[in-house]
Amino acid sequence: MKSRLKSLGSVLSAAVLLSLSTVAFAQSVAPPAPSSDAQKSFDTLKTLAGNWEGPVILDPPQAEMGTDKPVHISLRVTSRGNALVHEMQEAGTPLDPTQYDHPVTMLYLDSGRLTLVHYCDAGNRPRMTAKLSPDGKKVEFEFVDLSGSNDYGHMYHSVFTVVDANHHTEDWTYMMPGDKPMHAHFDLQRTK
């Protein structure tokens, strides 16, 4: 009987501790503040979570970078909703970053600003911050700074435009060595 009471006491103690930690976590979350433009922009971009494919138009055209194959974009909300992962690759290629380009971009709120860090195949990490268009459908990222080598150029500007739930566009500007911009326009349809 004593061992049953002891076991029951252990179970009750664990249940009480679990309940208290849940209450403490719930109380530590502040009431929601009015949404800032950064939060609205981030919420808009999170609606794009999923898989996307579409053609790419390069300006100026690049012979070595044909546009006959579409691009595949994956967007995933992670870190309890605090980050958005954007992964890009040529559609139909294996996920093998040793042989194929596969840049990863992280988007997150930082001190009241929506921030983008692009982990580029060129070996650098440009950082950009966002501004929301008045209609709320376009989020534009402007260059802030760069970490890593700039030997091969770097991503400089990005614009995400939501057309509807199953269609969005992305415009990326890459600054080539010698400050020559190359623009890529992606017209993307949701695949999943």
Q: Kindly report the average pLDDT of the chain as a whole number.
A: 83
Q: pLDDT grade, residue 129 (50/70/90)?
A: very high
| Same domain? 119 vs 152 | yes
Domain of 9, in residue numbers: 1-31
* pTM, full prediction: 0.78
Q: Rounded to an integer, what distance in angstroms lies between the CA atom of residue 163 and that of residue 28?
A: 37
What residue type is 38 in one-letter code?
A
138-148 and 180-190: which strand pairing? unpaired
Q: Write out the two tokens for 47.
A: 């609606």
Contact 89, 186 (CB under 8 A): no
Residues paired with residue 117 on neighbouring β-strands, in sequence order: 106, 127
| Same domain? 48 vs 129 | yes
Q: pLDDT grade, residue 100 (50/70/90)?
A: low
Question: Quick one: how far is CA 119 from the chain centroid?
Answer: 11
Q: Which residues of 103-127 are buried (b: 16+ CB within 10 A; e: fewer)?
A: bbbbbbbeeeebbbbbbbebebbbb
Our count of domains for the chain comes to: 2
| Same domain? 106 vs 20 | no
Task: Measure Cα distances from 163 to 12, 42, 45, 68, 94 in Å.
Answer: 54, 16, 12, 23, 29
Q: Is the pLDDT of residue 42 over 90?
A: yes
| Same domain? 85 vs 3 | no
Stronger pLDDT, 10 or 76, i.e. the higher one:
76
Stronger pLDDT, 27 or 140, i.e. the higher one:
140
Secondary structure percentages of the chain, helix, strand, coil, to 5: 20, 45, 30
Q: Is the pLDDT of residue 28 over 60?
A: no
| Same domain? 22 vs 73 | no
Q: Is the pLDDT of residue 98 over 90?
A: no
| Same domain? 7 vs 97 | no
| Same domain? 144 vs 53 | yes
Q: Rounded to an integer, what distance in angstroms lies between the CA atom of residue 37 and that of residue 43?
A: 10
| pLDDT confidence of residue 95 | 74
| Same domain? 24 vs 83 | no
| Same domain? 17 vs 106 | no
Mean pLDDT of all residues in 119-125: 94
| Same domain? 179 vs 86 | yes
Q: Is the pLDDT of residue 80 over 90?
A: yes
| Same domain? 66 vs 6 | no
| Same domain? 18 vs 93 | no
Q: Is the pLDDT of residue 89 over 50?
A: yes
Stronger pLDDT, 127 or 63, i.e. the higher one:
127
Q: Write out the two tokens for 132.
A: 């929301």
Tens-digit pLDDT profile for residues 142-185: 999 999 999 999 999 999 999 999 999 999 999 999 999 999 99
Q: What is the domain-level CATH number for residue 62?
A: 2.40.128.20
